[in-house]
Amino acid sequence: MAILEIKKYPDKILKKKTSPVDSIDDELQSLIDNMIETMYAAPGVGLAAPQVGVSKRLAVLDISSKEDKFPLIVLINPVISNKEGIIEFEEGCLSVPDYTAKVERAEQVLVNAVDRQGKPFEIEAEGLLAIALQHEIDHLDGVLFIDRISPLKREFFKKRYKKAAKLDKINQE
């Protein structure tokens, strides 16, 4: 297994809608293992394939460090088939380091996906698991959590990001 490079904002792959996984083969199994290792090493509670430079509908989640009852979940070709309620939650992202913001999401979701053995399954989720599922599935649709905040907060983030990038460039010279 290997720890993969996590793509950071504004990498173009993070804004691209992903392609469905059409074959669950050894190469995909290896990618899943590497994504799991990368997520734990980061450390994060979820990781989507575009975040490691792969434009496929694949994500891994493990919120057990926050809520014991939810072990590791592998999602292949996930789709949110139902949403209910509204909740606001402070989110961060491995691809948008050192920034968090309150994001409005559905409080409960129903997600249909395929596991790493190719077996279809359904997850009914609420709370943190529902938020994490929506966050990772957004990645598969080319949407970052900063796309879900107010235009004013997004502008503030972009200015802060440009300033930090400029400082990094100066420090590297």
Give the tokens for residue 109. 């979701």
Q: Please list, in sequence order, all residues whose beta carbon lies within 8 angstroms of the beta carbon of residue 160, skipping any fewer than 6 positions away.
A: 99
* Cα–Cα distance measured from residue 36 to residue 58, given in angstroms and rounded to the nearest whole number: 11
Class of domain 12-172 as given by CATH? alpha beta
At residue 171 the predicted structure's pLDDT band, cuts being 50, 70 and 90, is confident
State yes or no: is 136 an active-site residue.
yes
Q: Each residue of 56-108: pLDDT tens digit?
A: 999 999 998 766 667 899 999 999 999 999 999 999 999 999 899 999 999 99
Q: Two tokens at 66?
A: 């926050």
Q: What is the pTM of this model?
A: 0.92
Q: What is the CA radius of gyration of the chain?
A: 16
Catalytic site residue from 90, 124, 136, 173: 136
Domain edges within the chain: 12-172
